[in-house]
Amino acid sequence: MSAETPVQSAGTFTRLRRRFRDWRGSRPFWAGLFTILGGVPIAYFPYATLKLGTMSLTMATTAGAGSLIIGVLLITLGLTMWFQQATRVFAGVAAIILALVSLVVSNIGGFLIGFLFALFGGALAVSWAPGNAEGVEGGRHKPGRGPAGEGAVEPPSQGAGDEPVPPQTPYETGDGGPADGVRSEARNGGYRVG
């Protein structure tokens, strides 16, 4: 490879994979996927027929329509988690409630498979929060970013002779050390003095 060899751009598959990764990272993707996977067995099992030789097993129940409705609603909620992130908490709570209802209505929640997937997907949707990439760079915080205010630890400042200056103690020190362990801000109404 010489210096004059043109750099090949990323292939179509690589570009599509990166776009999908960016899309997936901006929404509760796994919550929606688990919720959809939970809705499929809940809707499917009441209408399934299993053939063993000449014998046919049907798991249809009187609540087959209820199972279908619960399954379709769970699939819809999973898609809502993907495409309407603002409603993720509502969709997560609704998925958890529908998963619990499916235990009674549809063959023990799709033989516990659909119940567990829907319950886990709803919990993930409720707990998901959008990421904030501006404060993190490569797993480490950028300098100057982070907590600020009363309890924040400030980095030690450098003095004129390149010797580090020891950090200031948060307590007022007088003749005998900390003044009863009370910060000066607490004694003067929250205002810093000095």
Per-residue pLDDT tens digits for 17-45: 999 998 888 889 999 999 999 999 888 87
The b-or-e profile of 18-33 (16+ CB within 10 A means b, else e) is eeeeeeeeebbbebbb
Give pTM, 2 decimals: 0.60
In tens, the pLDDT along 80-115 reads 999 998 899 999 999 999 999 988 887 777 788 889
In tens, the pLDDT along 42-64 reads 888 777 777 778 887 776 666 67
Residue 26 has a pLDDT of 87
